[in-house]
Amino acid sequence: MIANASFVARAEAAYLGLAVGDALGATVEFMTPREIARQYGVHREIRGGGWLNLKPGQVTDDTTMALALGRAIIADGGEVKAMSCASAFDAWMRGKPVDIGNTVRRNLISFRRSGNPEAPPSEHDAGNGAAMRVVPVALASLAWNDDEVRAAVRAQSHVTHNNPVSDAACELIVLSVRDFLCGNPLRHVYRRHIAPTIDRFPEFAYRRRRRENPSGWIVDTMQAVLQSLMDADSFEHCLVDVVNRGGDADTTGAIAGMLAGALYGMEAIPQRWLKALDPAVHRACREQARVLVSIAENRHPGANRDSDGGTTSRRPASAAMTSG
């Protein structure tokens, strides 16, 4: 069975990792490493502030879009439907979020006008706005094969970011989180997902130089995240390293947090960060994680482990995920 206590705890850690990484990184978003060092030494506390003047523990669009996506998936019984995702994101934008990316705003406005939940393909839409919110897809897709996962990733991503480089990053994150939740080590995920992604998209190669001050381009984001994930030996080490690079630090923190949360588990997330997180956000992340895992288990109780340690479904591959 998928949903044993340890598995659920890792799922909660992935979701809370997103939120604490977001809250930690938001303080230093758009700062350079030198500016961070001058003001904080090493930034390692959830303290709010930053250019958005947040309250301590407050999160940004990274977490609130993920929660909007999670609600849509739950309402659809565990399916990832493009129209439901687009409607959820549109409702989220109408709620006047604390922050919103330019690509997200532009394509959601287009959705309002056209009713088409899929943005047109664009080489310019390779931002990190689709990747930052994908953790609910990882939790909903625990019993699916890789092709079904990719279809679900695109259903939510293409609402705002219809770009192959963005798709590749989203798929890498979702597939990696799923394998970490099964207890697979980092070396396994590197071999199974990270290295093949870099083979197909060499721009993601992360050993060329240390990625400081990463922009909102998904390539910068993933280089910084992968460097921190591969070199760190703990959840805290990973997140402190990545957010102190500055730049789009709320999003690098959020993506690193969901990956490291799934890898290291709940006990590895510092209690001081969990206590500092906005209580309503803390509660919503945990509740969604439990519900999404429960739905995945109830829909496909026959899921088992494949020969490489990942999850697979006994459904035929033709039973692909709907894209709305």
* Residues 36, 245: Cα–Cα separation, whole Å: 8
Q: pLDDT tens digit string along 203-221?
A: 999 998 999 999 999 999 9
Q: pLDDT tens digit string along 3-41?
A: 688 899 999 999 999 999 999 999 999 999 999 999 999
The residue among 24, 44, 248 whose CA lies nearest residue 128 is: 248
Residue tagged 């799934």 (tokens)? 262
| Residue 176: φ, ψ to 5° | -70, -45
> 72 vs 140, 141, 261, CA distance in Å?
11, 14, 23
What is the pLDDT at residue 299?
A: 75
Residue 302 has pLDDT above 90, yes or no: no
Contact at 8 Å (CB) between 236 and 270? yes
Helix axes 164-181, 146-157, angle to 10 degrees: 130
Q: How many CB atoms lie within 10 A of CB 53?
A: 9
pTM score of the predicted model:
0.92
pLDDT band at residue 314, thresholds of 50, 70 and 90? very low
